[in-house]
Amino acid sequence: MPYEQEYTLIGTTDLDYAGDLDEVAISEAEVAYLCQLSNRYFRRAIAPSDVVWSYSGVRPLVEDEAATAQATTRDFILDTDNAGSPLLTVFGGKITTFRKLAEEAVDWLGPVLGNRTGGWTAGACLPGGDLFGGRPTNRSVLEFGQWLEGVKRSYPWLPAALAERYARAYGTRIHLLLAWRQGIPDMGKQIVPGLYEAEAYYLMEQEWAVCAEDILWRRSKLGLHAGGGAEEVLDDWIDQRMRRA
């Protein structure tokens, strides 16, 4: 897949894992396998030395006696226990069902914690997703480009690449990030390449980022572009802000 404008994302492998959950990483054999596989399809050959970054995770699936991991169900199961403090355990799940799962989880947790509001999220936009009004609509996908053009007109001083990245990452919350700013000098200093203070403050205040890893990798993939040493520089900047606060 084309990835982060300048890169290609190649994957995945799907292997059983029994090791330490804090040491999950791609193996040399997996890198070699993915390079070989890519080289079967593309004219320009790649080698493990071309790999700039990799990520891995362990996906817990519900055991359903299927023959292979690929065939195992992706359905989720909620296990509840309120013999003592209410305890909810989630097994399995998919990106496509995360809202359904979250709703079922809160439908159970709300009442046992004394909240009787009842479900309301089924017809609500995710934060920043209200491009065309407060309810989800296909227009947000189909007419995103048009909406983006409007954003660019609202902030003519913002470089196009930055406007596109902010719009894709934050949707309508781009207006929170850029609120009163009228030019690049209002964005604060560039803490590391590609990251202005304005975005770092936004991520700390609105998306609960507390460290460089949150900002460079969890909330974005800016770490890929920021170069070596970026994490230390950003952690120092965050520490100074936290001390002042």
Ligand X SMILES: Cc1cc2nc3c(=O)[nH]c(=O)nc-3n(C[C@H](O)[C@H](O)[C@H](O)COP(=O)(O)OP(=O)(O)OC[C@H]3O[C@@H](n4cnc5c(N)ncnc54)[C@H](O)[C@@H]3O)c2cc1C
**Residues lying near ligand X in the complex (CB under 6 A):** 57-59, 93-96, 98, 101-102, 208
* Smaller CB separation from ligand X, 50 or 64: 64
Both ends of the chain: CA-CA distance in Å? Answer: 41
**Beta carbon of residue 163, minimum distance to ligand X (angstroms, whole number):** 26
Shortest distance (Å) from residue 66 CB to ligand X: 16
Q: Closest distance between ligand X and the C-beta of residue 101, in Å?
A: 6
Q: Which is nearer to ligand X, 176 or 210 (CB)?
A: 210
Q: How far is the CB of 59 from ligand X (least distance, A)?
A: 4
CB of 241 to ligand X, least distance (A): 19
142: number of Cβ within 10 Å: 9
Could you give phi then psi for residue 113, rounded to 5 degrees?
-100, 5
Dump the DSSP string for 72-85. Answer: S----EEEEE-SSS
DSSP 3-state assignment of 8? strand
Find out whether 200 and 237 touch, Cβ atoms under 8 Å: yes
For ligand X, which is the closer residue by CB, 93 or 194? 93
The HSE-up count of residue 144 (CA atoms within 13 Å, CB side) is 15
Q: How far is the CB of 89 from ligand X (least distance, A)?
A: 13
Helices (H), 42-170: 98-112, 139-142, 144-154, 160-170
- Measured from the CB atom, is 17 or 42 closer to ligand X? 17
Cβ distance to ligand X smaller for residue 53 or 98: 98
Asked whether 197 and 191 are in contact (CB, 8 A), the reply is yes
Closer residue to ligand X (CB): 17 or 157: 17
Q: Could you tell me the two tokens for 24?
A: 């999950």
- DSSP notation for 198-223: HHHHHHHHHS---SHHIIIIIS--TH
Among all residues, whose Cβ is closest to ligand X?
57
